[in-house]
Amino acid sequence: MYTIQSLDLHFQKEAHTIASFLVSDHEHRLLVETGPESTWLQLVEQLQSHDLRPGDIDAVLLTHIHFDHAGAAWKFAEAGARIYVHPLGLPHLENPEKLWQSAARIYGKDNMLQLWGTMKPIDPEQLVPTRDMEAIFFGNMTFVPVHTPGHAIHHVAWKLDHNVFTGDVAGVAIQGGPVVPPCPPPDIHLEHWKASIAKIRALAPETLYLTHYGSVTAIGKHFQALEKTMEDWAAWMKIEFDAGTAPEVITEKFMAYTEQQLANQGVDRSLRERYELANPSWMSVSGLLRYWKLKESGKI
């Protein structure tokens, strides 16, 4: 039998914002997600508390290549692990320059190191592309990559028996707080996202493991709430998009709107700050505006 451990990466020194999951049995040790390279030392420490070193990890299963999920994958590749990733994400790990540049445009070049650390290319021999629903076996553990676009076109949820590691496709929910949809550019696609939710629900999982943050067992309720907020945010954004409001004005209004929404659901200030770290609301503004723009021009 295997065990699943949540490793808290203490992103930006805050608890329960980004997780990596250690899945191990007597034979294999795998990580689902690595977090960013900026939390590498924290991850090494967490592994040490399980008597493991980075070189003991056989494989890393990535949900997608955004830095908060995959930024430290190259460190495990250097230590010998194979890295499993969606075929559309794979080239960006082999050659991360473009990914880095586009993140730098979003976050600002000067903030990159402090937020995400560094990223180096991964040897293509160690990168393994996933195929939708095609199981990968590690001894007695059977992982099924479930291709789940919507948050990112190259998103994979990982099924292990009745557990699903959902990356960002099941949203962000911290410490029993409400679930919200992270909507960064450039791939947000609400119809695809809802189809991905239906795909996961059809697997009848008993536990979801959210990278931001931890396990969820009230699955029907969780996904219902996620879809509701997704629709609410998208509709809110559509009104501003149609009105042609300036993006910086939208951002200010949206930050106030979503903060109030969390407060109304009983989320206190310190937890609201952690939601903002795991899922900055300004990022969802650009992601959702881009979605409506592409939709209007008939490109999606």
| Site for Zn ion contains 33 (CB under 5 A) | no
Chain positions 49 to 68 lying near Zn ion, rule: CB under 5 A, are 68
Number of shown-chain residues binding Zn ion (CB under 5 A): 2
Q: Is 19 or 81 the residue whose CB approaches Zn ion more closely?
A: 19
* Nearest distance in Å: CB 298, Zn ion: 29
Compute the distance between CA of residue 206 and CA of residue 73 in angstroms, rounded to an integer.
28
Q: Is 37 or 68 the residue whose CB approaches Zn ion more closely?
A: 68
* Nearest distance in Å: CB 68, Zn ion: 4
* Nearest distance in Å: CB 49, Zn ion: 24
- Could you tell me whether strands 59-61 and 82-85 are parallel, antiparallel, or unpaired per DSSP bridges? parallel
Helix (H) or strand (E) holding 276: helix 269-278
Compute the distance between CA of residue 173 and CA of residue 169 in angstroms, rounded to an integer.
12
Q: Is 83 or 180 the residue whose CB approaches Zn ion more closely?
A: 180
Chain positions 160 to 179 lying near Zn ion, rule: CB under 5 A, are 168
286 contacts 184 by C-beta, under 8 angstroms? yes
Compute the distance between CA of residue 166 and CA of residue 284 in angstroms, rounded to an integer.
19
Given the structure tokens 């003991």, which residue do they identify? 56
Q: Is 168 or 227 the residue whose CB approaches Zn ion more closely?
A: 168
Compute the distance between CA of residue 187 and CA of residue 189 in angstroms, rounded to an integer.
6
- Could you tell me the two tokens for 73? 């994958």
CA-only gyration radius of the chain, Å: 18
* Nearest distance in Å: CB 279, Zn ion: 7
* Nearest distance in Å: CB 182, Zn ion: 6
* Nearest distance in Å: CB 183, Zn ion: 11
Q: Is 24 or 281 the residue whose CB approaches Zn ion more closely?
A: 281
Q: Is 181 or 205 the residue whose CB approaches Zn ion more closely?
A: 181
CA angle 54, 60, 65 (to 5 degrees): 115
Interface contacts to Zn ion, rule CB under 5 A = 68, 168
